[in-house]
A = this chain, B = another copy of it.
Amino acid sequence: MAHETEMEAPVCAESHQPASVEGPPLEIEESQQMAEFFGILADPTRLRLISLLSLSESCVCDLAEGLAISESAVSHQLRALRNARLVRYRKSGRQVFYRLHDHHVLSLYETVREHLQE
């Protein structure tokens, strides 16, 4: 998006890499999927929901009470977690019980917690 009147973009004189390697750079589309996923974890409310769900399966109203926020907010955030396949749910009467989907969630959660405590 600039002003390259020459045929090649001016690169550093030193230290270049082979232009197209197989691995990196990460494909744009895959980077967007990963970014979207990390974005799901980039919210205090959703992380606190995950922390509660790491203890036990819970319904929406208990989650709302546990975090002292509205059930609407909880429901909105649970949808995000659902779409990212971070939580599962089962219906029981009027209630819907949520739980963590798999081990990856807690793995990420713990890794970041460790990183921040250095």
A: residues with CB less than 8 A from B are 1-3, 5-6, 8-12, 14-17, 20-21, 23-26, 28, 30-39, 41-48, 51-52, 54-56, 58-59, 61-67, 70-71, 93, 95, 97, 102, 104, 107-109, 111-117
Query: What CA separation (Å) do A111 and B86 show in the bound complex?
Result: 13
The count of identical subunits is: 2
Chain B residues near A116 (CB-CB < 8 A): 30, 33-34, 37
Query: What CA separation (Å) do A21 and B51 show in the bound complex?
Result: 11
A116 CB, nearest partner CB in chain B, Å: 6
| Known A9-B58, A55-B11, A62-B17: A39·B39 in contact at CB below 8 Å | yes
A31 touches B15 (CB 8 A): no
B52 touches A6 (CB 8 A): no
Contact for A61 among B11, B36, B41, B113, CB less than 8 A: B11
